């Protein structure tokens, strides 16, 4: 079930058989006068605008990240304290109910 399944090997023969050639001639050499010097590089005009990040923007972003992080940590701490107090109340209620059932 988990063994790989490979496709069958390609057994088709080429439509035109390849013939080995004994042609050892080289293409004609390009004369030195025919060399072309490349054009100077000119960058294309950019359609995107550059964004300048000022120190005030960095400070604002940092402050926002710190505030959001503080709020999230405080929320997590509040949930943890609430869960601990609910667990404590459950233990106390269980003990009280157990004592009430034993007296009768």
Domain extent at residue 95: 76-104
- As for how many domains the chain has, the answer is 1
Distances (CA, A) of 101 to 70, 74, 96: 47, 41, 9
Q: Does the residue 95 lie in any domain?
A: yes
pLDDT for the residue 16: 65
pTM: 0.44
Mean pLDDT of all residues in the chain? Answer: 82
Nearest to 69 by CA among 61, 57, 59: 61
Whether 12 shows a pLDDT value over 80: the answer reads no
Print the SS3 string covering 23-46: CCCCCCCCCHHHCCCCCCCCCCCC
- The H or E element that residue 69 is part of is helix 55-103
Residue 18 within any structural domain of the chain: no
Within a domain: 53: no
- Cα(58)–Cα(84) distance, rounded to whole angstroms? 39
5 lies in a domain?
no
Q: In the predicted model, is pLDDT for residue 14 greater than 80?
A: no
């Amino acid at each position: 079930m988990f063994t790989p399944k490979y496709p069958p090997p390609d057994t088709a023969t080429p439509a035109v058989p390849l013939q080995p050639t004994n042609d050892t001639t080289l293409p004609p050499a390009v004369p030195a006068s025919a060399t072309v010097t490349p054009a100077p590089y000119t960058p294309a005009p950019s359609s995107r605008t550059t964004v300048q990040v000022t120190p005030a923007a960095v400070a604002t972003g940092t402050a926002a990240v710190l505030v959001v992080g503080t709020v999230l940590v405080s929320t997590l701490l509040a949930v943890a304290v609430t869960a601990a107090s609910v667990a404590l109340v459950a233990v106390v209620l269980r003990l009280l109910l157990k004592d009430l059932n034993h007296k009768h």
